[in-house]
Amino acid sequence: MENENQGILLESGTNELEIVEFGIKSNNGDKSNGRGLESFGINVAKVREIINLPTITAIPTSHPNIKGVFNLRNRVIPLVDLAEWLQLESDGKDSKKNKVIVTQFNNAFFGFLVGNVNRIYRVSWEEVEPPTENVFCSMNENCITGLIKMSDRIILMLDFEKIVADINPNLGIHLEGLQNKEEDQEEITVLIAEDSQVLRTLLTETLGPVGFKVIMTNNGKDAWDKLEDVFLPLAQDGNTPINDIIQLVITDIEMPQMDGHHLIKKIKEHPELKTLPIIVFSSLINEEIKRKGKSVGADIQIAKPEIGRLAAVAHELLKK
């Protein structure tokens, strides 16, 4: 199943996504517990190919969850044993029926060994519920970003960025390039939509000391509600442009309830909010995603590992 995501193209800004559902057969994957431990999902936008288990070359010094590397179109790709990383007792993980999901995000390629690939679903981000304290993850801490309730099971959306960063910290967030605040620099109010608690904290700690007043929200819907219910009334009551109240919006793409592209589209179609500059800050930065972001009105799009450049990029955008 090569380049599965190229055959299904979503219109930008519709608040929809496609997910690949896959399973990992597990001795402790008991569906009767209501958590659907065997059903997982990944955004099609992250998937480059789905292949049969290739020939693997072992690397003795690698992370214990990496089975080795394989060659795919002259590219050497590490293979992650997803069941092991999730701390599941995999049932028959060496079966030749297993599949490998080849991914690309944060400018890196990884293969993930899974039990089987079921099908692709198109869903609205409104159907993706954020995990709560009542829906915990016993497999590995904070490894779930959302839940999709089907009629007979729950599909758990895995945090693949966390998995990769856990296995190879060099592919995680880099803080190089941070700037100091200039003495005469005016404070910039920025509204951020980001569903990861780790990234919310890191963004606040990164932007706060360099002249930004950070207003954080958990997803696109929360950010839109803040704009519509708080900032817009402030501007209207004071008879002032919205840009005097808030100067910048930074948004992730993948978020429960409302994704970043839909948020941007709503902002840019609003007669009073459309002047707000918007930066996309996401792991899904490639040429196709950039085209989608540009089509809905994003001003700048930057990959999450480049967080150290974010403040400088924002200042440059606001100067324009």
Along the 320 residues of the chain, how does pLDDT read in single tens digits? 334 343 444 677 889 999 999 998 765 544 433 333 478 999 999 999 999 999 999 988 888 999 999 999 999 999 999 988 888 765 544 566 789 999 999 888 999 999 889 899 999 999 998 876 554 444 555 688 889 999 888 999 998 988 888 888 766 555 555 555 555 568 899 999 998 888 888 899 889 998 999 999 999 999 999 999 999 999 999 999 999 999 999 999 999 999 999 999 999 999 999 999 999 999 888 888 999 999 999 999 999 888 888 999 999 999 88
**Phi/psi of residue 112, nearest 5 degrees:** -120, 120
**Is 120 in a helix, a strand, or coil?**
strand
pLDDT at 1: 38
Q: Is residue 249 within 8 Å of residue 291, measured between CB atoms?
A: no
| Full-model pTM | 0.80
pLDDT at 227: 97
pLDDT at 30: 46
Residue of 239, 318, 225, 228 lying closest to 273 (CA atoms): 228
pLDDT at 60: 86
Burial 298-311 (b: 16+ CB within 10 A, else e): bbbbbbbbbbebbb
Pairing, β 188-193 against β 212-217: parallel
Domains, in order of start, for the chain:
4-171 (2.40.50.180), 188-319 (3.40.50.2300)
Residue of 308, 84, 36, 310 lying closest to 300 (CA atoms): 310
For the chain, strand residue ranges (E) read: 16-23, 39-43, 47-52, 66-72, 75-81, 99-105, 108-114, 116-124, 128-129, 144-149, 154-158, 188-193, 212-217, 248-251, 278-282, 300-303
pLDDT at 201: 87
pLDDT at 293: 95
Q: At which residue do the structure tokens 């990884």 appear?
A: 110
Rounded CA gap, 78 and 35, in Å?
29
Please report how the helices 197-207 and 310-319 are oriented relative to each other, as an axis angle in degrees rounded to 10. Answer: 60
pLDDT at 31: 46
pLDDT at 61: 83
pLDDT at 26: 61
- Amino acid occupying residue 192: I
**Is 149 in a helix, a strand, or coil?**
strand
CB neighbour list of residue 30: distance below 8 Å, 6 or more residues apart: 37
pLDDT at 301: 96
